[in-house]
Amino acid sequence: MTHTPRDTSHIQPRDRAEILAQALPYIRKYHGKTMVIKYGGNAMTDPELQAAFAEDVVLLKLVGINPVVVHGGGPQIEGLLKRLGKQGQFIQGMRVTDAETMEVVEWVLAGEVQQDIVGLINRAGGKAVGLTGRDGAMIHARKLRMVDQADPTKEHDVGQVGDIVGIDPSVVKALQEDQFIPVVSPIGFGEQNESYNINADVVAAKLATVLQAEKLLMLTNIPGVLDKQGQLLPTLTMRQIDELMADGTISGGMIPKLAGAIDAARSGVNAVHIIDGRVPHAMLLEILSDQAFGTMIRSH
């Protein structure tokens, strides 16, 4: 895939200067700070959005902000499982992962998907390095005990799906200091060196916490968190999230996303944003302007 820069000749020089001047307070405010970005959805599969995402990540690094990318790969895993004649199964938004599925998960996430993202960022002028949770003994995990939402006495066996025991971020920090952009696949390791598939939203949230990130940004395929009427909720408190989960407004894949966001916000990450990854440069607009492209989670 070749990417040609977009034609911006219609933007007047005065407007360009104004745009840059408006970004300056944000660049100053976030200089030297870490931003963890969960990359997923359309932004990962649409070529124009892929290029815009890579440009945004490189620009953030060049102005002195430290982006760390955590990626998913659900559609790609699903595609390969289908080609192998294996039907994916989900319980409460989590993929059931037997040994064969785990092999596919590792092959897709740590191979194809990760290297695509590394390539995109490098082509945009950055220096990206791919990591899994095994690298630098980063993500120590154990088997996830999934309690049934309706009946707390019941547990579901979801196979080699992991729960994070701890994250050692030293390898990420070392890369950041050398001006690299870490790209993390959400795979952890257990006591017996077994591999675990971990929800990418959960990894992003925990990594943001241990890195004491300024922001956690989660790119999605929706405008943000929506109410029962389908209207965007620009800000959410913990109590509102609890209410929305209780009445079923929030369900499926949004559950681990928001559980991770709450965790991060409670643990000192200054802001968590769930943003619309279908909008080109939404991430840059969210960070370097007062435009909002999604839902911000507040800790109180």
Q: What is the pLDDT of residues 166-204, one digit of tens each?
A: 999 999 999 999 999 999 999 999 999 999 999 899 999
Least confidently predicted of 73-77, 89-93, 188-192: 89-93
* 16 marked ligand binding residue: no
* pLDDT above 70 (res 222): yes
pLDDT digits 0-9 by tens, 118-128: 999 999 999 99
* 66 marked ligand binding residue: no
Mean pLDDT of 227-250: 83
* pLDDT above 70 (res 7): no
**Which structure tokens are listed for 66?**
């430290």
Identify the residue with better confidence: 170 or 15. 170
Identify the residue with better confidence: 16 or 101. 101
Q: Which long-range contacts (CB under 8 A, 24 or more apart) does 239-242 make?
A: 241/297
Handedness of CA 22, 23, 28, 29 (dihedral sign): positive
* pLDDT above 60 (res 115): yes
Predicted local distance difference test score (pLDDT) of residue 1: 44
Predicted local distance difference test score (pLDDT) of residue 173: 95
* 136 marked ligand binding residue: no
Query: If 0-12 CB within 10 Å is exposed, 13-18 middle and 19+ buried, where does residue 293 land?
Result: buried
* 197 marked ligand binding residue: yes
* pLDDT above 90 (res 90): no
CATH for 31-297, options being 3.40.1160.10, 3.40.630.10, 3.10.20.90, 3.30.1050.10? 3.40.1160.10
**Which structure tokens are listed for 124?**
């945009």
* pLDDT above 50 (res 2): no
Q: Render 40-98 in DSSP notation, one character per residue.
A: -GGGGT-HHHHHHHHHHHHHHHHTT-EEEEEE--HHHHHHHHHHTT----EETTEE-B-
